[in-house]
Chains A and B, each alone.
Chain A
Amino acid sequence: AQSVAQPEDQVNVAEGNPLTVKCTYSVSGNPYLFWYVQYPNRGLQFLLKYITGDNLVKGSYGFEAEFNKSQTSFHLKKPSALVSDSALYFCAVRDDIEAAGNKLTFGGGTRVLVKP
């Protein structure tokens, strides 16, 4: 079965400092990994994904994520956080051999608070 964990419920960071949101996953085969962001009272916005290839993936709004197969991690990073990055972030995974149709498994979410 596929699963994903976000170990931190909340991350606090000062504006201008680096931001990291952690994600670890478990799959039977190879993972398809995604990050989504949800601003207050809004839907989920796609940030970036890892399917195959380069371990460092660049996405929207200056975010990037590093795929680490040995550590089964896919941490989201931003070199310099903005107050407007304050939101709820979800990591999600899909196993490439999971016979479960189009099912994406989400982590519990990490609330990011960027203080001025």
Chain B
Amino acid sequence: DTEVTQTPKHLVMGMTNKKSLKCEQHMGHRAMYWYKQKAKKPPELMFVYSYEKLSINESVPSRFSPECPNSSLLNLHLHALQPEDSALYLCASSQESRTGGFYTIYFGEGSWLTVV
């Protein structure tokens, strides 16, 4: 089973709203990711969590705030977004090793975000 579950599938929010995207995996993966994807473009890495600690932040604006409550869950808190933040937000996970190596990243179906 290589399933990453994301909710909601669609979200419309105003520029003053606060909302959250949620992601869950039960594959025992210890690395979790948030990517942003614009139409017909490749995914862009936003954040990486490794063993529940933030390990990579790709200079993402502070209006995006990630949270990893435990090894199975990953949230992305959204506040004061701009219309240009409208995109598909993909959560992903992979195995992780403290001694190196790289493992396949598995993606969820994504959350379509529209900022109005």
Taking beta carbons and an 8 Å cutoff, which residues of A are in contact with B? Answer: 32, 34, 36, 41-46, 49, 51, 88, 90, 94, 96, 100-104, 106-109, 111
Contact = CB atoms under 8 A, between A and B. Distances in A.
14 contacts: A32-B102, A36-B107, A44-B92, A49-B104, A90-B43, A100-B56, A101-B55, A102-B48, A102-B105, A103-B48, A103-B56, A104-B105, A109-B40, A109-B41
Q: Binding site of B, secondary structure by majority: helix, strand, loop or mixed?
A: strand
A10 to B, nearest CB: 10
Given A42-B109, A44-B107, A96-B102, A102 B31 contact: yes
B52 interface: no
For chain B, which range describes its interface: under 10, 10 to 19, 20 to 34, or 35 or more residues? 20 to 34
Nearest to A108: B42
Given A34-B104, A43-B107, A102 B40 contact: no
A43 B109 contact: yes
B107 A45 contact: yes
A107 B50 contact: no
Interface string B69-104: 000000000000000000000101010100000101
